[in-house]
Every structure is written in structure tokens, then in C-alpha cells.
């Protein structure tokens, strides 16, 4: 319950996780040249789509010439892959921590929903949207690579949902529920605007958890 004392409803320090991932060279420092490019790339890819974003757009966004991009990345697709890979790495770590901080399965699920909503609608939102909508722009080889990382991420969800099923709190199939949740939560990028007031992220989390019939213990 102590985790809920955090005003942002974040049970873990996202920044500390980021720092350790940077130290392990698993994600780029947002202040580095590479990190800035990936952030701008995520924004452009989300706004215009991968195909409509040219290497000249990407270069201009960080103030260099288009040819200079290829000093940092071998191909344009490698940029897309890097955006996806680093985003999954970060969010997997954040979710793992959020989940471990919770005690009951019910609280763990709530933490996962809240964290996923944060990742979709917060800082990493642009990259998450890219992950959802630009999947087909990856080569099959890259898709396979990224898929491996996603499996780790998805296993977190399935563990918790399966536990809830075993405890009798969930009637439906965990796989089906997770997939419905994936769609429902991903789709929030297209309509949910917390900055415009109205529904807070915590309120949205409540609605999702309630929709699953898990609000009352």
C-alpha cells in the first residue's frame, strides 16, 4: 500500500532504472547524440509514420546532414529497431520493478495496468505508439529479434493473470484477457489526453481494473 503514497502513482523510481540501464549500455542516454536522435525519431515516426519520415527529416530534427546519420546507424531501419528495442528494455524493467513492489496478485495487476498506461501516455509514449503502429515496417529478421524481447515483457503479464485465474479472481482465459488489454491500453494513445483534464491516469486504471471485475478484493 505504501507504493500508492507516491503522488504520481508510480511505485518505483523510473529514473533510477533508466540510469542503471544506461550504465549497462542497454538503452542510450537521452542526452547523448544517439539518445536525442532516437527520441526525435520516435516522435517523427509516430507523427508521420516510418515510411513518410525521410532520413533528411531525421537529420534535420537533430541538426545534422542526412549523410551524417549513417555514421551512427548503418541503415534507416536500424534506427526504427533501436527505438523499439530500447523502449521494450526500459518498460520491461519498469514493469518488473512495479510488479515486484506489489504484494497481492491483484495489486500486481493494478501496477502493471498503471505502468503500461504510463509508458503509453508518458515519456515513452511516442516510442510505444511506434511499437504498435510501425511493426510491419521492420524486416522479418528484426521482427524476430524484437519479438524475443516482447516475450519477456508479456510473460510478466501472463504470470500475474494466471495467478489471478488460479486464485479464482479471474474467470476468463489469461491469454485472451492479456490480448484484450493490450488492444484496449494501446488504443488509449489515440484518444487519451490526460493533460486536458478529465480522467487521470489513476482514474483510468480504476476503470480498467473495474472492467475486469477485480475492483473489490
Applying CB under 7 A, does 189 fall inside the site for DNA?
no
Applying CB under 8 A, does 41 fall inside the site for a second copy?
no
DSSP state of 197: S
d(CA 64, CA 185): 36
Taking CB within 5 to 8 Å according to partner kind, which of a second copy, DNA, none is near residue 16?
none
Applying CB under 8 A, does 188 fall inside the site for a second copy?
yes
Contacts with DNA, 3-42, as mask; x by CB under 7 A: ------------------------------x---------
Applying CB under 8 A, does 182 fall inside the site for a second copy?
yes
The interface region with DNA, picked from 66-74, 81-89, 121-129, 170-178 by CB under 7 A, is: 66-74
Applying CB under 7 A, does 188 fall inside the site for DNA?
no
State whether residue 10 is helix, strand or coil. Answer: coil
State whether residue 117 is helix, strand or coil. Answer: helix
Neighbours of 33 (CB within 10 A): 14
Applying CB under 7 A, does 67 fall inside the site for DNA?
yes
DSSP characters over 30-53: TTSHHHHHHHHHHHHHHHH-TTTS
The interface region with DNA, picked from 48-56, 161-169, 174-182, 197-205 by CB under 7 A, is: 48-56
d(CA 59, CA 46): 16
d(CA 215, CA 205): 10
Residue numbers at the binding site for DNA (CB under 7 A):
33, 53-56, 59, 63-68, 70-72, 74-77
Amino acid at each position: 500500500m505504501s507504493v500508492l503514497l507516491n503522488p504520481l502513482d508510480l511505485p518505483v523510481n523510473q529514473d533510477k532504472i533508466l540510469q542503471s540501464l544506461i550504465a549497462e549500455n542497454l538503452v542510450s542516454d537521452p542526452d547523448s547524440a544517439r539518445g536525442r536522435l532516437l527520441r526525435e525519431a520516435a516522435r517523427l515516426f509516430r507523427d508521420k509514420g516510418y515510411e513518410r519520415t525521410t532520413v533528411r527529416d531525421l537529420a534535420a530534427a537533430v541538426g545534422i546532414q542526412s549523410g551524417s546519420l549513417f555514421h551512427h546507424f548503418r541503415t534507416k531501419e536500424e534506427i526504427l529497431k533501436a527505438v523499439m528495442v530500447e523502449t521494450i528494455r526500459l518498460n520491461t524493467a519498469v514493469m518488473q520493478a512495479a510488479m515486484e513492489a506489489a504484494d497481492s496478485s491483484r495489486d500486481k495487476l493494478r501496477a502493471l495496468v498503471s505502468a503500461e498506461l504510463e509508458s503509453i501516455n508518458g515519456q515513452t509514449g511516442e516510442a510505444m505508439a511506434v511499437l504498435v503502429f510501425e511493426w510491419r515496417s521492420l524486416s522479418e529478421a528484426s521482427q524476430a529479434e524484437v519479438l524475443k524481447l516482447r516475450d519477456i515483457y508479456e510473460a510478466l503479464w501472463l504470470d500475474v493473470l494466471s495467478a489471478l485465474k488460479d486464485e479464482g479472481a479471474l474467470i476468463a482465459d489469461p491469454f485472451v484477457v492479456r490480448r484484450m488489454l493490450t488492444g484496449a491500453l494501446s488504443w488509449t494513445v489515440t484518444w487519451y489526453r490526460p493533460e486536458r483534464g478529465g480522467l487521470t491516469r489513476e482514474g483510468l486504471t480504476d476503470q480498467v481494473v473495474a472492467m475486469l471485475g477485480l475492483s473489490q478484493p
